[in-house]
Amino acid sequence: MVDPSLRDFERIVFFTGAGMSAESGVPTYRGAGGIWREYDYRRYACQTAFARDPDAVWEFHNFRRELVSRCHPNGGHRLIAWAEALLPRVTVVTQNIDGLHQAAGSRRVFELHGNLWRVRCASCRTSVQDEHVVRHELRCPSCGGWWRPDIVWFGDMLRSDVVMDAERAIRGCDLFVSIGTSAVVYPAAELPLLAVRGGALCVEVNPEETPASEHYQLHLRGPATAMLARLAAGIPELDAALVDP
C-alpha cells in the first residue's frame, strides 16, 4: 500500500502511547527497562498506596517529574502540532502523561491517563496545573487535604468526559494513526476499534507487531518521528517541524 498523505484527510486522530515519547528520552513503564520492572506499582501508583503513605508516593512521583523534566518534544511531537495548525481538524488522543504534546504546541489533546504536571486535592477536588518542576507543597492551602497527582493510577477509572470526547473524535475521523502504543492497556486499547468501525483508514506506527496490528490497513515499522515524516512527505511546512529548533 502506498503511504497516504496527511493533506488528503479532513479529520485526523493521532493516538499516542509510550513509543511517541521514547525518542524524547521519557522512560517507558513496561517492557525491558520499564519503570514497573524496578518499582512495584502497588507501593507507588495506586490509591491504596497513597492512602497508606502519601509521602512515599510523592517521593516516587517527584522522581518521575525529575526524569521527565529533562525531556523535550521531539520532531514527531512538533509535526503533529504543526499539522493541527495547518490541516482542517487534528486531534491527539494520548495515553501519555508527560505533557509533551502541549509543550510542542498541540491544543486539541485528550489525555486518557491524566497529566503528570497537574494535581488535584484528594479532599476538595481542587485542581492545579504545575510548571515542570518537583512539587514541594503537598497540602491543599484551601482545606489542608493532600494534593494527589492527577493521573490515572492502577485501579482508577478513566475520566468519563475525557473518554467521551476521545470516542467522539475517533468515531468521526477519516484517518487514525496509532503511534507507539502497546495495545495491552485497557480500556484505551479498545478505542482504535471505533475508528475501524467508522471506516477510517487506520495506520499503525510501531517498530513491532502488537496485539491490535490485525485491525490496521497500513503498518509503518519504525520509530515515531521517521514514520510520521513519511505521512508528511510533500508538505513543506510539516517537513520544517522535523528540524530541531
pTM for the whole structure: 0.93
> Rg (Cα) of the chain, in Å, rounded?
18
Rounded mean pLDDT of 89-116?
97
Residue 39 has pLDDT above 70, yes or no: no
Domain-wise residue ranges, the chain: 6-25+73-113+158-241, 35-70+121-151
Q: Say if strands 175-179 and 109-111 run parallel, antiparallel, or are unpaired.
A: unpaired
Amino acid at 61: H
Strands 11-16 and 175-179: parallel
For residue 36, pLDDT over 50 is answered with no
Is residue 30 very low, low, confident or very high in pLDDT (cuts 50, 70, 90)? low
Q: Which residues are catalytic?
A: 113
What is the tens place of the pLDDT at every residue in 199-224? 999 999 999 999 999 999 999 999 99
Give the 3-state secondary structure percentages of the chain, helix then strand then coil, rounded to 5.
40, 20, 40
Once rounded to an integer, what is the mean pLDDT over residues 17-44?
A: 73
Share of the chain above pLDDT 70, in %: 93
Region 61-90: mean pLDDT is 95
The SS3 of residue 169 is: helix
Q: Map residue 128 onto helix, strand or coil.
A: strand
In CATH, 6-25+73-113+158-241 is 3.40.50.1220 = yes
Give the pLDDT mean for 82-106.
97
Query: Could you give the CA distance from residue 238 to residue 184 in angstroms, rounded to a whole number?
Result: 31
Fold for the domain defined by 35-70+121-151: SIR2/SIRT2 'Small Domain' (3.30.1600)
Residue 92: its pLDDT value, please? 98
Q: What is the mean pLDDT of the chain?
A: 91
Least confidently predicted of 34-38, 104-108, 114-118, 165-169: 34-38
Residue 38 or residue 116, greater confidence: 116
